[in-house]
């Protein structure tokens, strides 16, 4: 069901704005509406002064810095510090601390990035140097000579001949050359020449735009052998240096993350306050806001606001008109056993305020439908254990709700497994398990199973139509009332007609049954005028299709039990016990997966399509109280 809400208009002096806002935050139960969307209340939109806007920009920038620091520090989520100082008193301290901490962290991150880049790049240099080492001319060790290494793509080897000729010409032939393949795509060339020719050769290589082998500066520019040794020492030192950086970051995280988390929360609260002001209205001297409060909390909210405003604040209840009721936020209030199903209802849409909340009905019928389809003790036990494991893993959020819903379905599946006499299909019969109600593997019971599911569908849809008629009366909607009444009357007439035809009811019921069907079709088509003459019968046939759609409960269950039977038969037909067991386990595993998804999907479909459409009106606005923590629940 939905929680009863009261609409409060709150008017106070601007001098008390901060005190009132902080009180609303502390209460955490007032949903603040946008006053600009309520023309019945006259007040211009609230505007922030220039000083407040500058403060908002500063807080936004500071909050972004803190978010960045927390993201960099990483690691598991930490608790905030117990102290929650007043933001105004500590804003300068917070800003100064962040300004001092940021460069220290940035320096460590830059160092870690450099180490990672070296760890990635140096092995490639090492491989290149190892290929060059055997071809280095002896003259390269002469201190009066310079060595240059070029890397040329094998696709551009023609450039090498021209470069070699120009180098020979520049040096007057006083150059030694050697070359080798570095890999399948790259060729390396060494030039060793007197140092006096370094400048003209550098200019030549610059004009030709040829890649040179340039090593990181810290490795030096000596011979390949000495450079290679320096490179290996550098690679060996990188892991310890990286570990040292990580230790320093971890130490900073342990010291600063709780403080940063606290400061971030304080900044978010203040920024949320600035954002909520856009929903206020104002006059020259006062501010105005409209808030929705659970009716049970009205007295508490009024007393707290009066105290915060020093008796200079006006809190009055607004009459809940039809237009105002459309704006009321929706808070679902269901018993714990039904609460996991609220997320499934919300997947479709929240109910409108004052409308029917189908959560409890879904909590009743969906697990039963799931259990009727699964109907197996063995599969039910396995799925129940898996679901309970997921419940233990997921403590909050939608994942936990879905896990709880999945746990309820297999529980009913175990119950129906005893009623059907099934445990891993026909395997239960080998251990003395027999049907207490219907044996789905027996052909003579299939008709009874089909009729049972049709009867359940008829009852389920009839309940939806009764709720739909009540909703139409409450909404004072003539068209919906005619449409849903026509469906209900026609369906009841059809029940009577079938009862008379199969001799459950006396033949005298035939006439009122036919009359009920005719009246239902007429009422169903009445809202559409003359077009209803054609549309009415079509809609009624669609209603019958909705009822017959519940046959899927029997069909999915039968498919499951016969697939399990195939698995059991395969174990005995394989000719080899091991192979038979493996085949049986694989087929049972497939059946278990199908037994999880198919009943879930089709149970949801029966609710969303066949049941909800008969009465459910979505479009509700979620109740989001100002100051409440995420996951807040009344």
pLDDT above 60 for 292: yes
- Residue with tokens 């290149």, as numbered in its chain: 128
- Residue with tokens 């004072």, as numbered in its chain: 476
Q: Please, which pLDDT band fits residue 203 given cuts at 50, 70 and 90?
A: confident
Distance, CA of 41 to CA of 19 (rounded, Å): 23
Enumerate domains of the chain plus CATH numbers: 1-45+280-333 (3.30.70.260), 47-120+229-276 (1.20.1460.20), 137-222 (3.30.70.2750), 340-476+549-614 (no CATH)
Tokens standing for residue 534: 């054609």
Distance, CA of 464 to CA of 608 (rounded, Å): 11
Mean pLDDT for 570-576 is 72
Q: What angle do CA 529, 533, 539 make, to 5 degrees?
A: 100
Dihedral-angle region of residue 306 (phi above 0 means left; psi in -120 to 50 means alpha; beta otherwise): alpha
Q: Over the stretch 84-122, which tens digit does the pLDDT of each residue have?
A: 555 554 788 888 888 889 999 899 988 889 888 888 877
> In a 10 Å sphere around its CB, with 0-12 CB exposed, 13-18 middle and 19+ buried, how is residue 420 labelled?
buried
Query: Of 238, 241, 267, whose CA–CA distance to 70 is shortest?
Result: 267
Q: Please, which pLDDT band fits residue 632 given cuts at 50, 70 and 90?
A: low
Query: Of 401, 410, 405, 402, whose CA–CA distance to 372 is shortest?
Result: 410
Distance, CA of 508 to CA of 493 (rounded, Å): 13
DSSP assignment of 273-325 equals: HHHHGGG-EE-SSEEEEEEEEEGGGHHHHHHHHHHHTTT--EEEEPP--HHHH
Mean pLDDT for 424-446 is 89
| Full 3-state SS string of 22-76 | HHHHHHCCCEECCHHHCCCCCCEECCCCHHHHHHHHHHHHHHHHHHHHHHHHCCC
Distance, CA of 176 to CA of 192 (rounded, Å): 5
Tokens standing for residue 502: 């199969």
Count CB atoms within 10 A of the CB of residue 54.
11
Out of 52-66, 454-468, 546-560, pick the least confident.
Answer: 52-66
Give the single-character DSSP code of 608: I
Distance, CA of 400 to CA of 389 (rounded, Å): 11
Could you tell me where the beta strands, DSSP code E, fall in 455-608? none
What is the end-to-end Cα distance of the chain in Å, rounded? 13
Q: Please, which pLDDT band fits residue 630 given cuts at 50, 70 and 90?
A: low
Query: Chain-centre distance of CA 33, in angstroms?
Result: 27
Tell me the whole-structure pTM to 2 decimals.
0.74
Q: Over the stretch 301-349, which tens digit does the pLDDT of each residue have?
A: 999 999 998 888 999 999 988 888 888 999 988 999 999 999 899 888 8
Tell me, what's the pLDDT at 470?
A: 93
Return the SS3 of 204. helix
Close Cβ partners of 538 (under 8 Å, ≥ 6 residues apart): none
Tell me, what's the pLDDT at 253?
A: 87
Q: What angle do CA 249, 254, 260 make, to 5 degrees?
A: 95
The per-residue pLDDT of the chain, averaged, comes to: 86
Tell me, what's the pLDDT at 115?
A: 86
């Amino acid at each position: 069901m939905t929680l009863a809400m009261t609409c409060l208009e709150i008017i106070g002096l601007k001098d008390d704005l901060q005190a009132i806002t902080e009180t609303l935050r502390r209460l955490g139960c007032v949903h603040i509406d946008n006053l600009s969307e309520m023309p019945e209340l006259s007040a211009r939109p609230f505007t922030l002064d220039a000083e407040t806007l500058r403060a908002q920009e500063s807080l936004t920038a500071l909050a972004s810095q803190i978010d960045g620091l927390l993201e960099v520090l990483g690691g598991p989520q930490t608790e905030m510090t117990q102290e929650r100082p007043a933001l105004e008193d500590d804003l300068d301290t917070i800003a100064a601390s962040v300004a001092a901490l940021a460069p220290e962290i940035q320096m460590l991150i830059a160092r870690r990035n450099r180490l990672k880049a070296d760890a990635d790049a140096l092995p490639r240099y090492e491989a290149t140097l190892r290929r060059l080492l055997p071809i280095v001319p002896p003259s390269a060790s002469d201190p009066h000579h310079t060595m240059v290494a070029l890397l040329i793509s094998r696709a551009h080897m023609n450039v090498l001949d021209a470069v070699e000729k120009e180098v020979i010409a520049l040096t007057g032939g006083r150059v030694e050359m050697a070359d080798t393949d570095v890999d399948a795509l790259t060729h390396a060339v060494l030039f060793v020449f007197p140092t006096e020719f370094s400048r003209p050769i550098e200019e030549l290589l610059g004009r030709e735009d040829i890649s040179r082998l340039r090593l990181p500066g810290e490795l030096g520019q000596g011979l390949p052998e000495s450079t290679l040794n320096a490179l290996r020492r550098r690679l060996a030192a990188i892991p310890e240096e990286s570990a040292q950086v990580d230790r320093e970051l971890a130490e900073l995280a342990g010291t600063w993350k709780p403080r940063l988390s606290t400061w971030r929360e304080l900044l978010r609260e203040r920024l949320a306050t600035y954002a909520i002001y856009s929903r206020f209205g104002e006059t020259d001297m006062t501010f105005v806001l409209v808030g929705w409060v659970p009716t049970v909390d009205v007295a508490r909210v009024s007393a707290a606001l009066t105290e915060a405003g020093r008796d200079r604040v006006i809190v009055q209840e607004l009459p809940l008109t039809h237009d105002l009721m459309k704006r009321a936020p929706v808070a679902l209030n269901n018993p714990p056993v039904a609460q996991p199903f609220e997320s499934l209802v919300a997947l479709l849409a929240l109910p409108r305020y004052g409308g029917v909340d189908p959560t409890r009905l879904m909590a009743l019928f969906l697990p039963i439908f799931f259990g009727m389809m699964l109907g197996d003790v063995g599969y039910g036990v396995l799925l129940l254990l898996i679901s309970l494991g997921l419940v233990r893993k997921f403590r909050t959020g939608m994942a936990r709700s879905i896990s709880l819903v999945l746990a309820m379905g297999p529980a009913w599946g175990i119950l129906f497994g005893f009623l059907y006499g099934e445990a891993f299909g026909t395997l239960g019969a080998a251990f003395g398990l027999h049907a207490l109600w219907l044996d789905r593997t027996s052909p003579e019971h299939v008709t009874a199973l089909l009729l049972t599911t049709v009867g359940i569908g008829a009852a389920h849809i009839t309940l939806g139509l009764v709720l739909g008629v009540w909703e139409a009366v409450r909404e004072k909607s003539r068209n919906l009332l005619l449409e849903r009444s026509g469906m209900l009357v026609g369906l009841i007439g059809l029940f009577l007609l079938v009862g008379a035809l199969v001799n459950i009811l006396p033949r005298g019921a035939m006439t009122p049954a036919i009359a009920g069907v005719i009246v239902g079709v007429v009422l169903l088509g009445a809202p559409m005028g003359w077009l209803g003459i054609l549309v009415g019968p079509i809609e009624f046939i669609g209603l019958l299709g909705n009822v017959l759609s519940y046959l899927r409960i029997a069909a999915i269950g039968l498919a499951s039990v016969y697939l399990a039977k195939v698995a059991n038969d395969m174990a005995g037909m394989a000719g080899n016990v091991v192979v038979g067991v493996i085949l049986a386990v694989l087929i049972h595993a497939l059946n278990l997966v199908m037994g999880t998804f198919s009943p879930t999907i089709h149970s949801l479909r029966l609710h969303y399509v066949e049941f909800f459409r008969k009465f459910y009106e979505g479009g509700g606005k979620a109740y989001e109280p100002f100051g409440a923590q995420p996951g807040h629940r009344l």
